[in-house]
Amino acid sequence: MKRLAAILLLGVLFTSCSPDSSVFNRYEIGGDFTLTGMEGKPVSLSDYKGKLVLLFFGYTLCPDACPFALSKMSGAFHMLGAKNSEKIQVLFVSVDTERDNPARLKEYFSAFNFPVIGLTGTKEKVDEVAAKYQATYSKVESDSAMGYLIDHSTIIYLIDTEGNVRYKFRHNDGVEIMVNIIKTLMRIQF
Amino acid sequence: MKRLSVLAVILLAACSPKPQKTGVEVSNAWIKAAPVAMKTSAGFMVLQNHNARPEKILSAEFSASNVVELHEMLYENDMMKMRKMDAMVIPAKGSLVLEPGGLHVMFIDLKQDLKEGETYDITLNLESGQKLVVPAPVKPYSHGGMH
């Protein structure tokens, strides 16, 4: 009985915490872009029109922020379930244009069990996309065995079915927040 | 009689003041699970320094990667920055926390998959000359808010 009450309470809390559509802003950033996918072929954001897209900028040697963001996305997919997950595509733009190539991205993402495509391109192309989304990164020379390190922004962009940025998840936003906001956008869009 | 003296020894031991802890104590050590394809991983732990003087971690050793470094992550204005450190200081009578998003022992160029359920030793070389061998289980990241 106690348990049932706890579950009910949790249910009420969860419902009352669910964001409504007012959480979504119209961002004056973003837009379509084309980079090179893991098969070496062009991939555009507009290829995913009709799906929600989670866009992230990072690099495969990134030790912490990127695996953390990816593990959050993996957790979100798990909580959203298979049916909802089919409506989402993750795009990961590598800001390490020297070390990450399609083959390396394919190797790296083979370890993940959700739909994620690693994207690369020339520095100019990647810079152009980063600028569109106001994502920043900078190469930092280091005496680390990794050679150089890259400081980069950690925003995960939630993009709607029409290619508009609708939410920016920050590093500290937990999986539940991501799931709630994705579900809210799904209710509006599907 | 013999029994009585054994009892006396036990009682005496129980009543004597606890010996002051010395040295560096480690708890909650763990390693982030990572397939070899990810190339990097990291080790985390809490270090407690019971000594009256600060202790320094000068370097670390790990058998499952070709390189081990001491690193720090800084999160500023939505930017994640990582820096290699020459040493980490554990304050006198204080603690140092190595955790995701902060300080960590960085494993570069993994030799093998680090799978959940496995345990590896992380060896810390301290300034005092001590080699601290820390057994650490491999765990996945706990997703934000899910723990």
In chain A, the percentage of residues whose pLDDT exceeds 70 is: 89
Asked, for residue A172, whether it belongs to a domain, the answer is yes
Domain extent for A162: 22-189
Query: How many contacts (CB atoms, under 8 Å) link A and B?
Result: 105
Q: What CATH number is attached to the domain comprising A141?
A: 3.40.30.10
Asked, for residue B146, whether it belongs to a domain, the answer is no
Q: Is B69 on the interface with A (CB under 8 A)?
A: yes
Could you report the per-residue pLDDT of A16-53, keeping only the tens digit for each?
455 667 788 779 999 999 999 999 999 999 999 999 99
Q: What CATH number is attached to the domain comprising B56?
A: 2.60.40.1890
Q: What is the count of structural domains for chain A?
A: 1
CA–CA gap between residue A38 and residue A55 (Å, rounded):
16
Asked, for residue A7, whether it belongs to a domain, the answer is no
Q: Is B31 on the interface with A (CB under 8 A)?
A: no
Residue A152 C-alpha, separation from nearest chain B C-alpha, in angstroms: 5
pLDDT of residue A17: 52
pLDDT of residue B82: 87
Q: Which residues of B touch A75 (CB under 8 A)?
A: 143, 146
Q: What is the count of structural domains for chain B?
A: 1
End-to-end CA distance of chain A: 37
Is the pLDDT at B8 greater than 90? The verdict is: no
pLDDT of residue B21: 75
pLDDT of residue A165: 97
Which candidate from A75, A152, A155 shows the least CB-CB separation from B146?
A75
pLDDT of residue B143: 46
Which candidate from B69, B79, B146 shows the least CB-CB separation from A136?
B79
CA–CA gap between residue B144 and residue B137 (Å, rounded):
20
Could you report the per-residue pLDDT of B19-63, keeping only the tens digit for each?
667 799 999 999 999 999 999 999 999 999 999 999 999 999 999
Q: At what angle do helices A175-189 and A65-85 cross, to 10 degrees?
A: 40
Asked, for residue B142, whether it belongs to a domain, the answer is no
A99 near B109, Cβ under 8 Å?
no
Asked, for residue B56, whether it belongs to a domain, the answer is yes
Structure tokens of A133?
């989304």
Could you report the per-residue pLDDT of A51-61, keeping only the tens digit for each?
999 999 999 99
Domain extent for B50: 19-130
For chain B, the average pLDDT equals 87
Asked, for residue B139, whether it belongs to a domain, the answer is no
Could you report the per-residue pLDDT of A57-93, keeping only the tens digit for each?
999 998 778 888 998 999 999 999 999 999 999 999 9
Asked, for residue A54, whether it belongs to a domain, the answer is yes
CA–CA gap between residue A55 and residue A45 (Å, rounded):
9
Asked, for residue A17, whether it belongs to a domain, the answer is no
Asked, for residue A90, whether it belongs to a domain, the answer is yes
